[in-house]
Structure 1
Amino acid sequence: MAAEAVRALHRPCTGGVPGALLMFLPTPVAVTADAVDLMAPETSARMTFRLSAHTDKSTEEQLKESSIIPQRDVTKVNCSGLTAGSKVTLQEVKQLMRNVKRPSIPDSYFTTAAKDCKVFRLKRGYILKPMTSEEENFPIAFSILMFKDVSQVERLLRAIYRPQNYYCIHVDKKASTNISSAIHSISNCFNNVFVTSRSVDVKWGTFTVLEPELICLQELWKYRKWKYFINVAGQEFPLKTNYDMVRILKAYNGANDIMGTSKRYLEGRWKNAGKPPHNIRPVKGSVHVVASRGFVDYLLHNQTSRDLLEWVKKTSIPDETYFNTLNHNPHLGVPGSYKGLRPGIHEARVSGEENVKEGDDLQREMGVTGDADAGTLLALGKDNEEILDHPRIPRRQRRRTRQLRLHSASTDHRRARRGGAYR
């Protein structure tokens, strides 16, 4: 019962509508921002832990109970109207969001609060025990790349934190001393959370975007128990619980979820790098991946992968090439990679899917969603056939959703495709 109660905390509305559709979103759906916000300092009116004055229990015991089922101040929203695509409800939600004032939390608050790690973990509502044996036996490794807004990053970490998982945080070298100090203070309160041993000055379009991911992979590798790796940006937020992710990843059965597409117009990115090694065909995709441990092993330790990395460093926007090319060259034999036996499989965007044509060599796409997409996201996450007749779901996407329903998860974005056979 307690486990189910905690999972319910991540639902965006109070009307019993499941809120988990995709694993991560670039930004949280608007109506969830305060529903999941547990972030205020002790002086804030939004502090949601309530300790009873009429009890013999210690403060620590009360905090522990509150951390299991914390109470949240949730703005009333007509969930049924929102998920049905009601324009009236949508306007009401937009007005509510304009009026909501989230308290601003200075970075220094976390540096101070984390000095007492025991109280910090309990007061902030971290889940400190595995919720199920299935989750305990299927650890996940995460990387989080951040450069600003410690409070948002801490909110993200708290939402995805489980004691059996592992978390690598990279703080951009450009970040202020206060930000770096706050993140280090938070990570010091957990034995499975750490900050990278070195920081990179990340600049878009260069190898420095990919480099922090590789640093995290190298430093996560020493933890031998995790099964899958998921990379996350500091401005993302989960719509799937850890339990949901575990079930999805177990269904993947060692397959990777790494987008790949090859178009002639993309060749300009690679023209100055020369011919790729080992008869490799370059593939473009997203830097956001869900990769099996076998894939990471190959990436870190295989000479072919190292040769490709040296070639990729000479290309434009290498972060959108490296993981994707490894996953979409069947002759390399990369664990969990796409075999290419069924070309043309694609997944449409949550919105704008009419721009995707049949036959496009696209295994996964991603998009930014907002409150107006609640109905679409709900349909992607439901098993009921009638949901797929939702007026906001285009006909082609309804058909594809039926095929993908078991795996339709991800959260920005991500993760739902069965695009072909896998190793």
Structure 2
Amino acid sequence: MRLLKRCWLGQFLMFTIAVGSLGMVFLVSQLSTDWTPGFIPKYRWLEYTYDHSCPEKECNCSAILQGDREALEWAKIQAITKDVRKNIQIPDDHYINTTQDCRSFKLKRKYLMFPLSKEEEEFPLAYSIVVHHKVQNFERLLRAIYAPQNIYCVHVDKKSKASVSSAISAITSCFPNVFLASQAENVVYASWSRVQADLNCMADLYNASTKWKYFINLCGQDFPLKTNLEIVRMLRALRGRNSLESENLPPEKKWRVSYVHQIVDGRIQRTKKKKDPAPFNLPIMSGSAYIVVTRGYIRSVLEDQRIHALLEWFKDTYSPDEHLWATIQRISGVPGSKRPNRKYDVSDINAIARLVKWEAHEGSQDSMGAVYPECKGNHVRSICVYAAGDLQWLLEQDHLFANKFDVDTDPIAIYCLEKYLRQKALADWK
């Protein structure tokens, strides 16, 4: 019974009506609306609901998103209290149990089981999600980006705990368009295995459907900054181009691709052996593991013999995911690519794939050298784990997704962001 008191299992009253040719069932509530201007009352049943024991429920998300100092201070204090941290914990077996009844699970979690617009229905997307822990983070991410016309491949690290693998498998089994990668990898940080995980999902997604237009890869601690409709419109505006970080390789990173690396005791290590030049004299670029690319780009990755040679060459480099996709983006003939000339360089700030706050580039508002304001949460591997105080700035940016979010660090940040996105999606429902 204790588990049934979790925030996301709040009770709500509803009744159903059949909807014409769609052959779908809509649930309609008589609840009144608030918070979002122009929000239509009959859509309220799809808005996220939480019961009275939910610790985040007391926060003023509207004020937080507007940067209200008092609301942010309250959220900061609440995020570190023992009661809040205890109540937000959801054990892995809870997902295994609740997904025994998939229909009930999807209803209670308010998954959108029909396209919200014809525009979205006609522009399906393909997602790769690489996960190794934190099932609650993954499930909330999936719910935030889920749409029935899209397709999702989930790669669970081979060395993940059995409970994590079982819980994620149980969640994915409830959706016909969400599936586990056909081949799981034992992912080692900064090694080729991270690339291989995405490659496995790329092949699975490419073979599973011919309809999707763009590929987006995520990890379990990403979260969207845009609704599905906004993402679709931004991708349409690319007009067949890709959006990913791709810049000239800086001198301080050349060692990554100049020496052979190998896995020793579960960690990647550099050897003294120098690597041969890249195939076809391709210029090695610097970028990010996260990309937004066309189906044609993925086809080239899977079929182009030049890229196959490049894949082999990258297998013994350090952090190849931060160089491979950026390098492919500058190869002639790859759909959506750009010339390798530095005038076509794209930084992480200008690529819409992912917004990351690197500790070294943070600074105060009046700092001339700072790329972005200081992190309001904490740092993991020099990356900001966002808190509620980061939300106003995040939502002002053009990026589709941001990294990193963590329920254990700041549950209110995710709560307010997911609530905002759902209400915005429903307000735009055509």
Identify whether the pair has TM-score above 0.5, normalized to the shorter chain. yes
- CA gap of 1:249–1:413, structure 2 versus 1, over 3 A, is farther
Mapped contact 1:368–1:413 kept (Cα < 8 A): yes
Mapped contact 2:245–2:348 kept (Cα < 8 A): no
Mapped contact 2:246–2:346 kept (Cα < 8 A): no
Cα distance in 2, alignment partners of residues 284 and 345 from structure 1? 10
Cα distance in 2, alignment partners of residues 274 and 286 from structure 1? 23
- The letter for the 2-side match of 1:120 is F
Partner of 1:161: 146
- Give deviations 1:350-375, integer Å, cap 9, x for gaps: 66275579xxxxxxxx9654333334
Partner of 1:411: 401
- CA gap of 1:119–1:89, structure 2 versus 1, over 3 A, is closer
Cα distance in 1, alignment partners of residues 114 and 246 from structure 2? 37
* Identical residues among aligned pairs (%): 33
Cα distance in 2, alignment partners of residues 196 and 136 from structure 1? 24
**SS in structure 1 at match of 2:217:** strand
Partner of 2:258: 271
The answer to whether 1:177 aligns with 2:187 is no
- Give deviations 1:88-124, integer Å, cap 9, x for gaps: 4432321132343443222112222222222222222
- Give deviations 1:173-209, integer Å, cap 9, x for gaps: 1112222222222212111110012211111121111
- CA gap of 1:171–1:413, structure 2 versus 1, over 3 A, is closer
Pairing 1:340-419 to 2, within 5 Å after superposition: 340=341, 342-343=343-344, 346=347, 348=349, 352=362, 354-355=368-369, 369-380=386-397, 408-412=398-402
Pairing 1:14-413 to 2, within 5 Å after superposition: 41-44=3-6, 47-51=9-13, 68-72=46-50, 74-77=57-60, 79-80=62-63, 83-84=66-67, 86=69, 88-99=70-81, 100-101=84-85, 102-222=87-207, 223-261=209-247, 262-272=249-259, 273-329=275-331, 332-339=332-339, 340=341, 342-343=343-344, 346=347, 348=349, 352=362, 354-355=368-369, 369-380=386-397, 408-412=398-402
Give the C-alpha shift of residue 378 in structure 1. Answer: 4.0
Q: Which runs of 5+ in 1 are unaligned?
A: 1-39, 358-365, 381-407, 415-423
- CA gap of 1:297–1:61, structure 2 versus 1, over 3 A, is closer
Mapped contact 1:156–1:236 kept (Cα < 8 A): yes
Q: Would you tell me which structure has more strand in proportion to its own residues?
A: 2
Query: What's the TM-score, normalizing by structure 1?
Result: 0.71
192-201 vs 43-52, greater mean Cα deviation: 43-52
Cα distance in 1, alignment partners of residues 301 and 25 from structure 2? 45
Mapped contact 1:141–1:167 kept (Cα < 8 A): yes
Cα distance in 2, alignment partners of residues 206 and 78 from structure 1? 39
Cα distance in 1, alignment partners of residues 140 and 205 from structure 2? 22
Cα distance in 2, alignment partners of residues 56 and 187 from structure 1? 25
- Give deviations 1:42-96, integer Å, cap 9, x for gaps: 23366333137xx899xx989786863343463332745763464x443232113
Cα distance in 2, alignment partners of residues 344 and 320 from structure 1? 15
